[in-house]
Amino acid sequence: MKLLDESAVLAGYLIAAVLFILALKGLSSPRRARRANRLGAAGAIVAIAVYVLGHDIANAAWIAGAVLVGILVAVPAARRVQMTQMPQLVAAFNGVGGGAAALVAVVEFTHGPDGWARSVIAFTVFIGGLSLTGSFVTFGKLQGIITSRAVMFPGLGVLLAVLVAGAVASAVAMVLTGSMLYAIVLLALGLVVGVLFVLPIGGADVPIVISLLNAFTGLAVAGSGLVLSNVLLLIAGTLVGASGTILTVSMATAMGRSVPGIVFGAFRSTSSGGVDAGGPDRPVRTVSAADVAILLEYSSRIVIVPGYGLAVAQAHHAAAELAEILTARGADVVFGIHPVAGRMPGHMNVLLAEANVPYESLVEMDVVNGQFKSTDLVLVIGANDVVNPAAQSSPGSPIYGMPILHVAEAQQVIFLKRSLKPGFAGIENELFFDPKVSIALGDAKATLSELLTAVKAGV
């Protein structure tokens, strides 16, 4: 039984849409991000409540059961996930959203829509299917289930072109004939294209692809809104698509590359651009935690550069404590933040905020790069690609053109690394062999604990 008339439903949709917009605006600032998330959640609750109260719903028990299952799966997953695994969670949720939009479109196709609606359904089915499998491939790359390197094989470009052409032909046939067979073929092609679309993307570019796929999911949801004549679904999908597109372009710009270059770069024959690991003829200089403590003791300006290794080791609290102690002793300590450090934008900001690092101590790349020449010591914790000079000196490198933190300009550079293995981009860091660079090998959290003990003891 309907409890709200059409005008009340539209008013509720308007309130939900405003809450969604305010949520997106708030997410632009770490200070407002928690409140923004709550606004977004409130908008979703309003949207669901208004729809339920304003429509005669068939199969309400099935819908309620599906919602309950979703809650039972999503709430524990969101609460238990480590910050290091947040990008994987985002990729998985994004894929589920795209898949849901595709399935809704397929179901709506069974109701015999007209030609215009069929064309929208065709678009939604293909893009939603692509987003589903593409997002789960990015999940696999980030989780280590699939190699993070670009996966190529002879004829991949031709195969992708044939599949996309087949998808276009299936979509046209689906619109003209109204046959469910073509809808199923189109969905299958979207699923296959999603896998082949992401496999050639190298590890360093996976975060950008996640953002791009997020934009695709938004477009699929917007398409579902058109098919279902649901204004709020159209608005929400458009917001997601637009914000995902803006974020994708911003991330690509931060890496000094274009989106087409990232997506299709693997189809050009390039070398890895890496260097050989250190050997007898190229030794690296290693130091102990006590040695690092002595260097810190004589440093008045210190920049800490966090990376994914810090997140994996859960060493952000120790890094925050170290910065606090050094600051109390009179040192000028800041954290240099690269826009794509970690596995997604803002990853390091959120981690350090969790460790109660003052927001004023987080200095963005454009600012901190002008300060390295006057910096006594840079402590790089678990970062590699974002400080790798290959981005500027090796045209064949997969990260060539990406702006980096110019840590080499400082007087001393200390890396805290588990090993000398290449970073996520799969290339070695030439900086390891610089005479001013020293490396403390070991788990970042354990090394920082030793370092804290030594610093507190006044070593």
Which of the residues are catalytic?
A: 385
Q: CA 305: distance to chain centroid?
A: 19
Phi, psi of 337 (to 5 degrees): -110, 120
List of long-range contacts for 109-113, beta carbons under 8 Å, 24+ apart? 109/174, 109/180, 109/183, 110/180, 112/178, 113/227
CA separation for the pair 100, 316 (Å, rounded) = 36
Distance CA 34, CA 305 (A): 25
Q: What is the DSSP letter of 404?
A: -
| Tokens, residue 73 | 């799966």
The total number of residues written for the chain in this structure: 459
Helices 180-198 and 115-143, axial angle in degrees (round to 10): 30
Q: How far is it, in rounded angstroms, from Cα 266 to Cα 199?
A: 10
Q: What b/e sequence results for 367-400 when a residue is b if at least 16 CB atoms lie within 10 Å of its CB, and e otherwise?
A: ebbebbeebbbbbbbbbbbbbbbbbbebeebbbb
- Rounded CA-CA distance 169/152 in Å is 26
User: With contact defined as beta carbons under 8 Å apart, do 383 and 245 qualify?
Assistant: no
